[in-house]
């Protein structure tokens, strides 16, 4: 009984984090909140044993991680055609 309640609390935290990500205007913050929220919902989906939701969350986490990586790469690269010599 207690583990079900903990699972629901973790799931609710995931929902709050993803909602905060949707409301965030900064891409990196949004992706980070999506990743942490997705992990919380992944834990919840494992706790309830829902395979469709488990797979959905894995895809969601991977897509958010890729988006965060792309944002980081584009932020650290120099613009093309620029000559700093």
How many residues are listed for the chain in this entry?
A: 85
The answer to whether 47 touches 3, Cβ cutoff 8 Å, is yes
Query: What tens digit of pLDDT does each residue of 38-74 get?
Result: 999 999 999 999 999 999 999 999 999 999 999 989 8
Domain boundaries, the chain: 2-76
Token couple for 55: 């797979």
Residue 9's pLDDT band, with cuts at 50, 70 and 90, is: very high
Q: What is the mean pLDDT of the chain?
A: 90
Burial 19-32 (b: 16+ CB within 10 A, else e): eebeeeeeeeebbb
Predicted local confidence at residue 53, as pLDDT: 96
Predicted local confidence at residue 75, as pLDDT: 82
């Amino acid at each position: 009984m207690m583990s079900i309640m903990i699972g629901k609390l973790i799931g609710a935290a995931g929902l709050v984090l993803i909602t905060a990500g949707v409301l965030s205007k900064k891409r990196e913050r949004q992706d980070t909140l999506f990743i942490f929220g997705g992990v919380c919902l992944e834990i919840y989906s494992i706790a309830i044993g829902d395979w469709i939701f488990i797979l959905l969350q894995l895809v969601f986490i991977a897509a958010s991680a890729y988006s965060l990586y792309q944002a980081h790469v584009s932020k650290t690269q120099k613009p093309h055609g620029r000559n700093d010599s």
